[in-house]
């Protein structure tokens, strides 16, 4: 399915036929259609629609005017209880921030997701790190340790990590609250908290995100804050696109960003239906 999604991401402008996609993954059209719909929840044709610029513009408009400004600003959870509503951020103390994680005990583990292998780590307060391990698990662990060089580490999948990983496999309405324990500046924490209000299936722009965070002219700084996001997917920096509707760059690859956005749009349609 990963190979099929990447094929759609790279070829959606040509409106590929079902037979072309199935051939790409060495399956019959019948079995591919059934498997794709079981995993994603919509047909390949519907998924292609989510990847188009026009659909991105529509989501931007709806997110800004309805979902973002009305549902979330009024404090309603909406009809779908999406996982973002259950994510909260706690910034680390100045001491934890400055001393490289001294006195912190960090559990970490690795997990396969629809978008690649990830490393996920947690303290006693919440998830502190989650990123793709594209260059291998050893390199990913070294990056984690460079973030918190003085912490104590244990390779252990704890309950906090398990709950956060349910976002890939479970009904989002059944998720418990996911708590994040993050190292970041006051500005970064504000941007990340504001981004959590953009619902799954919705999109925002750099300028809108800056405005909502109270830093109207800080679009470039917003981009830097997104690039420093320590918990990929849980803080959904992939939902920030250009005002034109172009998906744009992503720290972990434009193809992956398209795939995540399409996957979330499909999941959102399943929930609302």
Burial grade of 76 (CB within 10 A; 0-12, 13-18, 19 or more): exposed
- Taking only the tens place, the pLDDT of each residue in 153-171 is 999 999 999 989 988 875 5
Domain assignments of the chain as residue spans, ordered by start = 2-50, 53-272
Q: What is the pTM of this model?
A: 0.77
Q: Which of 48, 89, 237, 241 is catalytic?
A: 237
Q: pLDDT value at position 154?
A: 98
Q: Topology of 53-272 in CATH?
A: Arc Repressor Mutant, subunit A (1.10.10)
* Bridge partner list, 106: 153
Residue 237: active-site member: yes
| Chunked mean pLDDT (size 10), the chain, 273 residues | 82 86 94 84 78 66 50 39 61 80 94 91 96 96 95 96 83 70 91 86 87 87 92 92 82 85 72 49
Question: Residue 43, by phi and psi: left (phi above 0), alpha (psi -120 to 50) or beta?
Answer: beta
238 contacts: CB under 8 Å, gap ≥ 6: 250, 256, 257, 260, 261
Q: pLDDT value at position 108?
A: 98
Q: pLDDT value at position 157?
A: 97
């Amino acid at each position: 399915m990963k190979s099929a999604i990447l094929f759609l991401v790279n070829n959606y402008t040509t409106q590929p036929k079902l037979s072309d996609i199935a051939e790409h993954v060495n399956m019959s059209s019948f079995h591919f259609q059934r498997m794709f719909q079981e995993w994603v929840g919509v047909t390949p044709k519907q998924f292609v629609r989510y990847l188009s610029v026009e659909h991105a513009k529509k989501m931007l408009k709806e997110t800004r005017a309805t979902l973002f400004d009305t549902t979330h600003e009024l404090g309603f959870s909406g009809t779908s209880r999406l996982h973002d509503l259950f994510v909260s951020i706690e910034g680390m103390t100045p001491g934890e921030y400055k001393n490289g994680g001294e006195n912190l005990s960090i559990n970490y583990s690795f997990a396969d997701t629809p978008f690649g292998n990830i490393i996920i780590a947690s303290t006693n307060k919440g998830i502190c790190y989650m990123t793709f391990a594209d260059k291998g698990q050893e390199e990913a662990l070294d990056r984690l340790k460079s973030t918190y060089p003085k912490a104590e580490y244990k390779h252990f999948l704890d309950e906090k990590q398990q709950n956060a990983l349910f976002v890939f496999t479970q009904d989002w309405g059944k998720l418990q609250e996911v708590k994040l324990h993050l190292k970041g500046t006051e500005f970064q924490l504000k941007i990340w908290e504001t981004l959590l209000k953009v619902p799954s299936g919705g999109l925002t722009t750099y300028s809108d995100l800056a405005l909502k965070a109270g830093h109207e002219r800080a679009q470039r700084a917003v981009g830097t804050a997104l690039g420093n996001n320590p918990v990929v997917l849980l803080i959904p920096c992939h939902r920030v696109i250009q005002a034109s509707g172009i998906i744009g760059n992503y720290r972990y690859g434009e193809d992956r960003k398209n795939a995540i956005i399409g996957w979330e749009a499909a999941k959102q349609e399943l929930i609302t239906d």
